[in-house]
Amino acid sequence: MDKTEKEILSAIGLMEKKRWDQATAKLEVLMADADPEVADKANNLMADVYAATQRNAESEALLRRSIEYRGADNGNLGSQLACLCVVVGRQGRIKEADETMLRALDAARSDLPALTVFILRNAAYMQWASGNPDRAREIYNQIPSYEKDDLEFVIEMNKYYLEPAVPKEIGR
């Protein structure tokens, strides 16, 4: 394991401990790395820090930068768009978040069904929170069957973008 990998793991450890200022300081250095892959990885981790600390516009900007860098054929596009949908929705741009959710679902089709569940669950919450319970119910009813362990994995990987559950009268 080289020094850069150790620094990334150290930043992740700080994030796990919610030491946001220290994680930010480490990630800012890594974002300036000459290796574009290292910079992109740090960029995505910084987007997580911003999402976790409700700095949604900053998280959005970093996610968009990474999506542009990685391109449409990137294997993480579904996950990145799922996260982007959340931070856009948190800023009150519900129509744009809904459009991003559709792109995320399209990109996630080849991934675990659990990623689709994660996307739809968050989208249903966003609709409910913005006063659209019928749309929330419609989205929630599209949730496919999935493996519980797979969903737990997807949630762990995207925990800073997990929205609260919708009320029981909307969900199942």
Q: Is 140 found in the same domain as 88?
A: yes
What is the residue range of 82's domain? 75-172
Q: Is 79 found in the same domain as 66?
A: no
Q: Is 82 found in the same domain as 45?
A: no
Of 70, 86, 121, which residue sits at a domain end? 70
- Tell me the pTM: 0.88
Average pLDDT on 119-123 reads 93
Amino acid at 30: L
Of 70, 101, 124, which residue sits at a domain end? 70
Q: Is 58 found in the same domain as 125?
A: no
Q: Is 101 found in the same domain as 19?
A: no
Q: Encode pLDDT of 43-64 as tens digits.
A: 999 999 999 999 999 999 999 9
Of 70, 89, 124, which residue sits at a domain end? 70
Q: Is 110 found in the same domain as 170?
A: yes
Q: Is 82 found in the same domain as 16?
A: no
- In the block, which residue shows the tokens 């996260």? 83
Looking at residue 145, its pLDDT comes to: 86
We report the CATH number of the domain holding residue 100 as 1.25.40
pLDDT category at 172 given cuts 50, 70, 90 is: low
Per-residue pLDDT at 72 exceeds 80: no
CA-to-CA dists, residue 4 to 11, 16, 30, 115, angstroms? 11, 18, 8, 29
Q: Is 167 found in the same domain as 91?
A: yes
pLDDT category at 94 given cuts 50, 70, 90 is: very high
Give how many domains the chain has, as a whole number. Answer: 2
Q: Is 81 found in the same domain as 25?
A: no
